Structure formats: C-alpha cells, structure tokens
Amino acid sequence: RGTIYYWAINTGRVMRIQAGATAPDDFLGASVTCPSCHTVSANGQQLVMNEGTWPSETSFNYNLQSSSNTYSGFAVTSGSSEWALPGVSPDGTVVVENFAPLRGTIGVQTGAYNAATGAAISSTGLEGQQLYMPAFSPDSKLLAYVDSITGDLHAYDWDQTAKKATNDRVIVTSASNTTYPMIQFPTVSPDHQWIVYGRGTALGSLGVPGDLYVASVASPGTEIPLDALNGATYPFAAGSRDRDLDYEPTFAPVAAGGYFWVVFHSRRTWGNAITGPAYVAEGNGVKQLWVAAFDQAPKAGKDPSHSPFYLPGQDATTLNMRGYWALDPCKGNGQGCQSGVECCGGYCAGGAGDGGLVCASTTTGCAQDGDKCVKSSDCCGASSGVTCINGVCSAPPPQ
C-alpha cells in the first residue's frame, strides 16, 4: 500500500516507485533542478525538499495531489540546507527542522512551522529544542528524535489538534551500544509503539558501518538488534563484505498482510546482479533499497524483523537512498478503489451499476480490511483478530 519516494543521489533526482511499477517515476520533471533531502507526509499529500545545487538551495513544499508548490522559499540561510530532511506531520500541515549536521549547518529555526505558509506555530513546546532527525508517527501521536547534546533517542507525545509536544523522555541511550554509539534516522511504527533507527560509528552512510535496531516506546531502555533484517547470521555469498551496511529506515504508514513494513537502503550486494565495493567515494559503490516485514505484535526480547527483499522497480544503475514510504494522495468519492485506505472518505464500497468498488464516506455495517475505523470492533473481522491500527482495519498476522 502506498508509494516509496527515494533519492537517486548520483543523478540528483527524487524518484518514486508506485505499487506494481516496473520502473521508477521521475515525477518532478525537468523544471525542478536537483531535488534532494526530502520528507513526505504519511498521507502522501506533501513533499518538503530542497531544490538547487548545494550550498545555494531553496526549500519548498510540493503538493503531490495538484503537482504544485503550496509554499516556496522557506527561510533559507545562505550556505545551509535549513529545511533538509525535516519532520513532517502525517497530514502534511506541520514541519519541524532537522538540526543534524549531515551537510554542514542545516537547522536554524527551532519550533514547528505551518507547512502551507512557512509561519511559525506558537507555543508548541519545541521552541529552543534543536532536534536531530525528527520523525512523526503515522498516527500523529508521537514525535521521535535524537538529542543534539547526548545523542540519545527521545520521544515526545504529540497532539496534532493542539499542535503541542509534551512528555519528552529518553527511549534508548547512545552509550548503551559502544560498537555503534551514533543513533540516527528514527522512524515510528503505524501504532506509535515501536521506533526503528540506525546505529553507526558516524552520521550517514558514506563509508561507515551501520545496522538497524528497534526500541519499545512503552518500555524505554529496551533495544533489539534487527538481526534478520540486517542479515547478521545470513550466509551472504559475498561474506563479511555484505554485513553492517544498513541505513535510514522508514515505516509504511499502515499495516498490510498482517505485518508492518520497513524500507531502508543498504550497501550489500544483490546476488550476481549488483556487485562491487560497498563504498569508494561519494557517488560510487553500491546503494539500493530493500524492504522487510516487521511483526505487528513483537514478543519481548525477540527480533520482530524478517529477511528483507530487494525492492523491485528501482533503477539498479543508480545509487538509491532515503526511501520514504507514504500513502498515495487520497481519491474522492465515486472514484475506483481496491481498499478504503486509498479513499479520502475512508471506505471502498460497492458502486452502483456494474458493482465495482468506489470510494465513499460511509459504509453499511462493519468496515472491511483497509477501511477506516476508530476501534477494532468497527472492523468486520474483529472476532478473527483484525485490529484498528492508525485508523485502518488491519489483518492479523498469519498463523
């Protein structure tokens, strides 16, 4: 469900792969010069990114439904990438700057900002806080980030209605892992209960080792290495060359098939189709997107990840990173659909005439898998384990 937006770094393009596509889509067109450092709202409505050649960049908010800029020219300091890799709320209305020094100076203004106008939002609780790599949960209830002083993984509770961040707390400390002390790029599960993040010896993926981990929001201090996703014990044909090369995860906003899903990029080889050194210099080596299933209800102390697969549809000749998973912009009532998650009204129901499925704002009886819900009992399969996750009826894990 949804679309994966990624950065083909050596060609300087933000690309996307839609469900079932056999090739990526350069959807921004030639009018956008060197787009980079993007974040997409979970609802697939807004794309916040830089345009231009660093350090002379402009940041703007691109409306993915109308293919236009809703606000261009976020305040940019000369020589910086101020709005690079920001936190964007799931509905695309709020932007929080990223202060992590990934390209020299990045963040300049603390607090939260209106994504449509660039105006500061008052009294959010984020004023004066320089957040590294902020990331909202897909259900708008959590804001994860890395502390700029300690390097620890933190989380705020986020009230999207009031635009307030409260209850700041440590989820995992940087010092709890001496091999990979640098925590980076957190992403939050659709139910805001789990945070997957990278650990490495330095920020980024340019020639440094790194792996992905998960922490429980409900039980701070609990960290689990994602060994299946990382391939910790997998007998890679390339041996140790393929280990410890996993970075920048992003959860899909909704569950599907009984699992959560994570896209990440890796410098591992892919059989005999994509080989070569992991890293030579910036713009060289191997860098591709992979996807892994993640258990919806992880068991305490057990790795909830599964072996990843190579993401089909991407260009194997480019260096692909920063995969960002979002839903497609929603469809209006009466448009064809396969699932309610595609629809602005939240339901995919039988249409008049030929009986085909179309988007609707109401439904008769219970909600089907993929339809809108408030609680699990709204869902048709609740007695069989279907649960309401991030406002969507979601199938139970396979038995």
- The answer to whether residue 118 scores a pLDDT higher than 90 is no
Local structure of residue 26 (DSSP, 8 states): -
Instruction: Quote the CA–CA distance of 338 and 329 in Å, as a whole number.
Output: 14
207-221, 265-279, 341-355, 361-375: segment of lowest average pLDDT: 341-355
Reading the block at residue 155, the tokens are 């989380």
Give yes or no for a contact between 234 and 201, defined as CB atoms under 8 angstroms apart: no
Q: What's the chain's average pLDDT?
A: 92
Instruction: Give one DSSP letter per residue of 47-109, joined into a string.
Output: EEEEESSTTS-EEEEEETTTTEEEEE-----TT--TTSS-EE-TTS-EEE-----SSSS----
Dihedrals φ, ψ of 229, to 5°? -65, -45
- The answer to whether residue 354 scores a pLDDT higher than 80 is no
Q: For residue 172, what are the contacts with CB-CB under 8 A and spacing of at least 6?
A: 152, 153, 183, 213, 215, 220, 221, 222, 223
pLDDT band at residue 79, thresholds of 50, 70 and 90?
low
pLDDT band at residue 80, thresholds of 50, 70 and 90?
low
- The answer to whether residue 353 scores a pLDDT higher than 50 is no
Reading the block at residue 18, the tokens are 């839609």
Mean pLDDT of 13-24: 93
pLDDT digits (tens, 9 = 90+) for 190-206: 999 999 999 999 988 88
pLDDT digits (tens, 9 = 90+) for 311-326: 999 999 999 999 999 9
Q: What is the pLDDT of residue 206?
A: 86
Instruction: Quote the CA–CA distance of 154 and 25 in Å, as a whole number.
Output: 35
Mean pLDDT of 5-12: 93
Q: What is the pLDDT of residue 74?
A: 63
CB contact burial 357-372 (16+ within 10 A = b; e otherwise): bbbbeebeeebbbbbb
pLDDT digits (tens, 9 = 90+) for 87-106: 999 999 999 999 998 877 78
